[in-house]
Amino acid sequence: MLHFADSLTFSGRKVVAARAALPFPALSGSSLPDILSAHQQDLPWKLLSSWREQKVSCCFAQSVVLRGVCQEKPTSCPGQPRSPLHSCESPEEMLQQFLHTQFPGTFTTSHVLQQPCDTRPPFPQFFSPLLTSRGFLLDKAQGFSSAGVESIPVLAALQSCPGLHWLLAGLCRALRAPDLRRWSSFFTAGVEHDDFQEALEELNTLAQCYETGLGADGSEDEADSD
């Protein structure tokens, strides 16, 4: 775990963002290259970390895991050329090729696991009736309850990305705003004022490690910078 963390948090960076597609939207009966090809324009995962949702167009490093996707043979429509993903020899190579296209130049580790995420009780049964019992998408809803979803495919990632500058700089501004001298109980708990100011400076320095010169996330205005 230590080596894994070091691979994502180099150059003074210590924070990563978490994203996940739960379940990963995949049509029932589709092969892995077909499924990945359907998401070339926009990845379906959602942000799990505490800042406003935004499209990630670049990142410094990432670790991605895809699990539970069927390993059927690739298919292609007659008369249409096969994509580069269809030429890959293994699921791991397919995912790596897909991520390289989405995030060129990014240090990426990726893994494909055949075992899906188990969603049998006591897992919350909040799934759409458009899912099969294995968590794959259907063209129309079936007659069974969403409680019949026993497992789902999942795409998850940890990313060291420029958007974290906005999060960390905003946290730093929020902590600087109040006059802590008015909150005597804060310091009677054992926190020294000088130590608090030093921690703020370290937080500001950490935020600067995620700057790219393009704004907070590669597309935000400079107004979000500290």
Give 17-35 pLDDT, tens digit per residue. 999 999 999 988 888 998 8
Kindly report the pTM of this predicted structure: 0.79
Cα separation, 68 vs 84, in Å, equals: 22
Residues 6+ away with beta carbon under 8 Å from 96: 108, 110
pLDDT at 54: 65
Rounded average pLDDT over 69-89: 65
Cα separation, 101 vs 69, in Å, equals: 20
pLDDT at 139: 77
pLDDT at 154: 96
* pLDDT of residue 218 exceeding 60: no
Q: Binning pLDDT at 50, 70 and 90, where does residue 53 land?
A: low
State which amino acid sits at residue 166: W
pLDDT at 225: 37
Cα separation, 226 vs 125, in Å, equals: 42
Give 156-180 pLDDT, tens digit per residue. 999 999 888 988 998 999 888 877 7
Give 118-127 pLDDT, tens digit per residue. 999 899 888 8
Residue (of 68, 67, 43, 64) closest to 109 by Cα position: 64
pLDDT at 69: 86
Among 6-15, 65-74, 148-157, 190-199, the minimum mean pLDDT is found in 65-74
Residue (of 160, 163, 174) closest to 203 by Cα position: 174
133: its two tokens: 């019992």
* pLDDT of residue 84 exceeding 70: yes
pLDDT at 148: 83
Among 109-118, 174-183, 199-208, the minimum mean pLDDT is found in 174-183
* pLDDT of residue 192 exceeding 90: no
* pLDDT more than 70, % of the chain: 82
* pLDDT of residue 207 exceeding 80: yes
* pLDDT of residue 72 exceeding 60: no
* pLDDT of residue 95 exceeding 60: yes
Mean pLDDT of the chain: 82
Residue (of 137, 149, 153) closest to 69 by Cα position: 153
pLDDT at 44: 87
